Amino acid sequence: MSIWFNKHLKLEDLSVVLEGTMAEHLGMEWVALGDDFLKMKMPVDHRTKQPYGLLHGGASCTLSETVGSIASHLVVDANKFSCVGLEINANHIRSARQGFVTGIATPLHLGTNTHVWDVKIYDDAEKLICATRLTVAVLKKAF
């Protein structure tokens, strides 16, 4: 059973969400949308590396917060609620120097006021690069 508010949601519906954002600037792209997960990838290049040539930890956090926050947005009625990052914890397990990294967000908790997402980031060889936990606040929109 799908966790998404719009039960007819398709991956191609999400392309406009990234326009004019940090995610677009960093080259993030949607990869997959399942019944209970959202997946996106990001290049490991001059935009996302730190001075030693490794994937920057902040870029990993940006990927995690992007995929997790958008996943929360897709769970709620966006006409009534906004979803914003509240806290992120990241464990940088392995480095990446090239190719792409892929973040997969799955829910740990989908409550009325908060969502908690498990976001794991893998390299092209499917080795775990970073494990994050993202807490998102679900805010009622003022009318």
Query: Looking at the predicted structure, is the pLDDT value of residue 143 above 80?
Result: no
- For tokens 């967000």, the residue is 105
So what's the pLDDT on residue 12?
92
| pLDDT for 138 | 98
105-114 per-residue burial string, b: 16 or more CB within 10 A, e: under 16: bbbeebeeee
* Residue 101, pLDDT score: 98
Cα 16 to chain center, whole Å?
Answer: 15
Q: Is 116's pLDDT higher than 80?
A: yes
Sign of CA dihedral 6, 106, 115, 86: negative
Q: Write out the two tokens for 82.
A: 């906004």
Domains contained in the chain, CATH given: 11-140 (3.10.129.10)
* Cα–Cα distance, 10 to 49 (Å, whole number): 31
Percent of the chain with pLDDT over 70: 100
Active-site residue among 29, 65, 87, 126?
A: 65
Does the pLDDT at position 39 exceed 90? yes
The token pair at 24 is: 């677009």
> What pLDDT does residue 142 have?
85
Q: Supply angle C-alpha 80, 143, 81, rounded to 5.
A: 20
> Which range, of 10-19, 50-59, 112-121, 125-134, averages the lowest pLDDT?
10-19
Q: DSSP character for 11?
A: G
Q: Are 28 and 50 in contact (CB under 8 A)?
A: no
Whether residue 24 lies in the annotated active site? no
- The CA–CA distances, whole Å, from 28 to 8, 48, 116, 143 equal 23, 11, 22, 32
pLDDT, one tens digit per residue, over 6-26 is: 999 999 999 888 999 999 999
Alpha carbon distance 36, 5 (integer Å): 11
